[in-house]
């Protein structure tokens, strides 16, 4: 199971964080710092797994963005990488070639997509198409809702 998912850029700035275990704010900040600095310090040729306390960090770098998940040690590390890739591909299709700015300005949408991919640290659906369809329908609902005119985020 995934305990948390982090998305940070090369400078170590967190762009997205999702927690499936209860942590206090303080703990979160500490864990984020620790995990991100661990991942950033790895050389490019190293493997994508880090043993960290009793957990395992699986990370993958896409251009300037690092995607990190924290898993149980006995989890299949390779499928962890695939889950990250699955999520990234969906983001990519959803935003249309996703970049860091998309996520900075549309973090709610990114969270929404994530909720369609993972719940409680478990993979929800293996079909990108079906996930994109339901996210699309939700956005459509919002666009056509009577409140949206006044909402104006």
Partner 1 sequence: MSIKLHDLITKVRESSTTSGVREIISEECVQIRNAFRKEDTKNRPRNISKLIYIDFLGFPTDFGQLECLKLIAHPSYVCKRIGYLGLSVLLTENEEVLFMSTNIIRTDLASENKFIVSLALSSLGNIGSVEMLRDLAPEVEKLLKSQTAYIRKKAALAAIRTIRFVPETVDRFVGRVKSLLSDKNHGVVLGGIQLLVEILKIEPKTISEFRKLVPGLLRMLKSLVDAGYAPEYDFEGVTDPFLQVHILKLLRILGQDSKKYSNQMIDLLTQVGTSSGMNKNVENCILYESVSTILTIESPNRLRVTAINTLSKFLTGKDNNMKYVALNTLLKGVNKDSKSLKRHRKVIVRCLRDKDISIRRRALDLVFGIMNKKNVKELTQELLDCLPKAEHDFRFDITAKVCTAIEKFSPDDQWQIDTLVQVLTIGGQYIRDDVIAIMTHVTGRNQELQYYASKKLYNSLLDDRYRNQKFIQVAAWVIGEFGDILLKKSIEENEPIDPSQIIDLCQIIITSSRNDDLTKYFILNTLIKLSTRIEGYDETIQEIIKPFMKHVNIEIQQRACEYFRLFEDKELLVFSFDRIPVKDENLETQKIEEIEENSNQNSNTNTKVQENSNNQLSPNNSNNQNKKKQEENELNLMGSNINISQNQTQESSSIENLLQLDFSNNNNQNVNKQTTNTQNQQSNQSTEDFLSDIFGTNNNPNRSVNNTQNIQNNNTQNVMDILGTGKGNGTGMGRGNGIGMGLGNGTGMGRGNGTGMGRGNGTGMGRGNGTGMGRGNVNTQKKNPSAIIYNQDGLKIQMNFKLVSVNGTPAAMIQSTFTNSTQTQMTNLLFQVAVPKHLQVQMAPPSSKIIPPNNNGKVTQTFRIIKKQNIKTKLTMMTRIQYKINGMPISKQQEVKNLPLIF
Among the listed residues 39, 86, 94, 102, the single contact to partner 1 using CB under 8 A = 86
CB of 50 to partner 1, least distance (A): 6
Enumerate residues 31-70 that contact partner 1 by CB under 8 A: 43, 45-51
Question: What is the distance between the alpha carbons of residues 3 and 7, in angstroms, rounded to a whole number?
Answer: 14
Stretch that binds partner 1, among 4-12, 62-70, 90-98, 100-108 (CB under 8 A): 100-108
Regarding 9 and contact with partner 1 (CB under 8 A), the answer is: no
CA dihedral sign of residues 99, 100, 105, 111: positive
Residue 11 found at the interface with partner 1 (CB under 8 A)? no
Cβ contact 122:18 at 8 Å: no
Strand partners, 19: 4
**With contact defined as beta carbons under 8 Å apart, do 5 and 99 qualify?**
no
Nearer to partner 1, 53 or 63 (CB): 53
């Amino acid at each position: 199971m995934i305990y948390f998912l982090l998305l940070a850029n090369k400078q170590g700035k967190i762009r997205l964080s999702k927690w499936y275990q209860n942590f206090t704010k303080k703990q979160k900040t500490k864990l984020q710092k620790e995990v991100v600095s661990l991942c950033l310090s790895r050389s490019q040729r190293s493997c994508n797994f880090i043993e960290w306390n009793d957990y395992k960090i699986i990370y993958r770098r896409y251009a300037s963005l690092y995607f990190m998940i924290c898993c149980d040690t006995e989890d299949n590390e390779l499928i962890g990488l695939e889950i990250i890739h699955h999520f990234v591909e969906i983001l990519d299709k959803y935003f249309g070639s996703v970049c860091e700015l998309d996520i900075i300005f549309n973090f709610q949408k990114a969270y929404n997509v994530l909720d369609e991919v993972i719940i409680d640290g478990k993979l929800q659906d293996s079909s990108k198409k079906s996930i994109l369809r339901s996210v699309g329908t939700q956005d459509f609902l919002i666009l056509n809702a009577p409140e949206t005119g006044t909402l104006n985020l």
